[in-house]
Amino acid sequence: MPWASFADLQFRILLSILWISEVLLRGSRKAYFAGILICFIWFLGIKSDPNKFGHDYRAFRRAVASFPEKFEPGLLIAHHGFCEFIKFYKEYDCLSWKPDDKAKKELPKDSEIFRIVKGFSYRELDLAFDLKGKKIFKAPIISLDNYLLVKESDWDYFHSTKEEERDEESLSRIESWINPFRERPNFILKKYEGSK
């Protein structure tokens, strides 16, 4: 395991260059003070958590290994790092955005959209009911270690129910980077239209 993430390493290299340039200026007290300050910041960087900017690939592997047999989704929704992992190891079509009309139109015939959810327990989703007392998740919820696999249509219904209930605690977990909730911006869609 590397002692620093890529982002941290770049920062340390920058600080080293700044420190060396300050030392080479010699003479001024400000230069020495700046050099000592940069050195101090560099040493603080050594103590930083290397996983802060990285992904938990072990958890990704366990989750992917838990996919059901003969699982062939038309499209999977997952957060960006996990999506790339899934594309590489399983070759599934994965999107790290809420599915938009373009994504839905490009689905293979008779296929469905599934979502990989984090931050909710199996029990919490299994016992979710709408305002009329009907069960929200009609399709089976599949546990993927620390993640859950659900149908996108059930997830959308869950999201809209929590908005109606004004359940801020649940919405803060639904509308987070780990559970993509925004559609692709127009500039990304235009990029794909231009590449045809």
Q: Give the model's pLDDT for residue 187.
A: 80
Residue 56, pLDDT score: 85
What residue type is assigned to position 94 of the chain? C
Return the closest-CA partner of residue 175 out of 158, 189, 187.
158
Q: What is the pLDDT of residue 52?
A: 54
Of 44, 51, 77, the C-alpha closest to 152 is: 77
**99 φ, ψ to 5°?**
-65, 130
pLDDT along the chain (196 residues), means of 10: 51 68 65 70 63 76 92 93 93 93 89 95 95 94 94 96 94 93 84 59
Q: Give the span between the Cα atoms of 174 and 170, in whole angstroms.
A: 6
Are 155 and 112 in contact by the 8 Å Cβ rule? The answer is no
One-character DSSP codes across 50-65: TTSSS--HHHHHHHHH
User: Three-class SS string for the chain?
Assistant: CCCCCHHHHHHHHHHHHHHHHHHHHCCCHHHHHHHHHHHHHHHHHHCCCCCCCCCCHHHHHHHHHCCCCCCCCCEEECCHHHHHHHHHHHCCCEECCECCHHHHHCCCCCCCEEEEECCCCHHHHHCCECCCCCECCCCCCEEECCEEEEEHHHHHHHHHHHHHHCCHHHHHHHCECCECCCECCHHHHHHHHHCC
The confidence score (pLDDT) of residue 8 equals 58
What CA–CA distance (Å, rounded) separates 151 from 139? 7
Q: Report the amino acid identity of residue 47.
A: K
What pLDDT is attached to residue 96?
92
pTM for the model stands at 0.71
Question: Is the dihedral angle over the CA atoms 79, 83, 86, 91 positive or is it negative?
Answer: positive
